[in-house]
Amino acid sequence: MSKLAAIYISDDNLTQIPALKIAIAENYQSLARENPNLLQEAFNKYQGAYVTAWQ
Those residues whose C-beta lies under 8 Å from the C-beta of residue 32, and which sit 6 or more positions away, are 38, 39, 41, 42
Segment 49-55 mean pLDDT: 90
**In this structure, what is the dihedral angle of CA atoms 8, 52, 26, 2, given to the nearest 10 degrees?**
40
Q: What is the pTM of this model?
A: 0.80
3-49 confidence digits (pLDDT tens): 877 776 776 767 888 999 999 999 999 999 999 999 999 999 999 99
